[in-house]
């Protein structure tokens, strides 16, 4: 049985994302790289990916970034899942552990 093709949502400025890319390259598996800051996912795609991962969008937020503080997310986070997703589109996101390399469906 052939393994499904993987997609890496990549941020070349992120050391963890570069490490994930290197691991995938070494694995010999077929995969696609999406530079999500240049080509952000749609809200529907991001919602589907989060659902597949069993995660909430707030789990992708990089709390250590200046932007997190600038946006006031600690004191005034988005009120709903859809508001979080809209906020995340095109912003740097926290790398997801190894299971974040999702098979495309």
List, by residue number, the catalytic residues: 14
Strand partners of residue 7 = 32, 102
Read off the tokens for 56.
């909430």
Number of H helices, E strands in the chain: 4, 3
Q: Where are the beta strands (DSSP E) in the chain?
A: 6-10, 31-35, 102-103
């Amino acid at each position: 049985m052939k393994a499904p093709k993987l997609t890496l949502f990549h941020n070349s400025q992120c050391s963890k994302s570069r490490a994930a890319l290197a691991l995938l390259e070494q694995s010999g598996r077929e995969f696609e790289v999406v530079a999500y800051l240049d080509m952000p996912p749609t809200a529907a795609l991001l919602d589907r990916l989060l659902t597949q991962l069993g995660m909430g969008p707030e789990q992708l937020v990089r709390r250590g970034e200046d932007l997190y503080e600038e946006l006031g997310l600690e004191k005034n986070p988005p009120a709903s899942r859809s508001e979080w997703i809209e906020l995340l589109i095109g912003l740097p996101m926290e790398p997801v552990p190894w299971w974040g390399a999702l098979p495309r469906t």
